Amino acid sequence: MKLTEIYEYPVKGCRGHSLCCAPVGRRGLGRDRRLMLVDEAQQFLSQRTLPALATLSVVWQDEGLHFLAADGRMSPLWQPEEATGRLSATIWGQQVSLHCGTNGLDRWLSEVLNKKVRLAYQAGEDVRPVVGRGGRPGDEVSLADGYPLLLTSRASLADLNGRLTQPVGMERFRPNLVIDGEQPFAEDNWQCLRIGEVVCRVAKPCARCKVITIDQQTGVAGKEPLRTLSTYRKHDNKVYFGVNLIPENSGIVHRQDEVEVLA
């Protein structure tokens, strides 16, 4: 098996971008989901409740990042050192202490999204433990839903697309790592694997929600592929596609790295 695609999503819910290689640490890819938007109650925002996030791109520069709206408007530059304030945000009931303090950018984002929002940032000292199934003491995660990495398989997507009238791309599932070279859904049975120089354990299969029905270019939701996936990938009232991973060591992964199942 080979690692064929690597994706990073700097801001939770916003567009990601493809990488040829990426560092992997305890929290996942180096810059993956280190920022997110919160509402006035300081609850996290994602495409589940704000599909328009799919239309926001992130443009990295050496000193920081810009947001790019669908109409071409570019935000003021965000830099980590500007985030000098603090806020306590909630992600799936878990309280997380984060940095904030970018008022000009908050106003720009609120205008573009037509909703009052604030931008929160997870710095190195903002530790968030993995609390879900498969987590162990010392495991950490970024601002992702619950786990450092999400892996999907091209074979599994091909199996799904063979059942759809209109095929979908892998971007619907917002993975970090995409592999090929195995049977569809073989990943369901893995417990541990090596991707290049990084060893990961499989925490659990990834339960999917309405986000996979959202066109990642337009932010418009439909019924598929969740409707079809639920006809043959539903267990315990949840629909599964992909697996959540927890890194056991740090390293760098590259496209075309070999992938070996260890257990």
Res. 240 pLDDT band, cuts 50 70 90: very high
Six-digit token pair at 248? 């056991």
How much is the average pLDDT of 228-256?
Answer: 97
Question: Do residue 98 and residue 7 come from a single domain?
Answer: no
Residue 55 has pLDDT above 90, yes or no: yes
Does 211 reside within a domain? yes
Question: Do residue 152 and residue 193 come from a single domain?
Answer: yes
User: Given this model, what pLDDT does residue 185 score?
Assistant: 97
Question: Do residue 80 and residue 181 come from a single domain?
Answer: no
How much is the average pLDDT of 58-86?
Answer: 92
Domain ends where: 121, 148, 176?
121
Question: Do residue 147 and residue 78 come from a single domain?
Answer: no
Question: Do residue 37 and residue 93 come from a single domain?
Answer: yes
Beta strands in 21-157 (DSSP E): 21-25, 28-29, 35-38, 57-61, 64-68, 85-91, 94-100, 118-121, 149-153
Model pLDDT for residues 177-220, shown as the tens digit of each residue: 999 988 999 999 999 999 999 999 999 999 999 999 999 999 99
- If you ran DSSP here, which 8-state letter would residue 11 be given? B
Does 126 reside within a domain? no
Question: Do residue 57 and residue 162 come from a single domain?
Answer: no
Are residues 88 and 97 in contact, defined by beta-carbon separation less than 8 angstroms? yes
Question: Do residue 75 and residue 143 come from a single domain?
Answer: no
Question: Do residue 24 and residue 135 come from a single domain?
Answer: yes
Show Cβ contacts of residue 237 under 8 Å, excluding neighbours closer than 6 positions. none
Cis ω on the peptide bond leading into residue 80 (within 30° of 0)? Answer: no
Residue 46 has pLDDT above 90, yes or no: yes
Question: Do residue 146 and residue 97 come from a single domain?
Answer: no
Res. 102 pLDDT band, cuts 50 70 90: confident
Domain that holds residue 172: 2-28+131-261
Mean pLDDT of the chain: 96
| Number of independent structural domains in the chain | 2
pTM of the model: 0.96
User: Given this model, what pLDDT does residue 61 score?
Assistant: 83
Model pLDDT for residues 16-27, shown as the tens digit of each residue: 999 999 999 999
Give ∠ CA 182-25-11 in degrees, rounded to 5: 90
Question: Do residue 20 and residue 40 come from a single domain?
Answer: no
User: Given this model, what pLDDT does residue 103 score?
Assistant: 83
Question: Do residue 150 and residue 241 come from a single domain?
Answer: yes
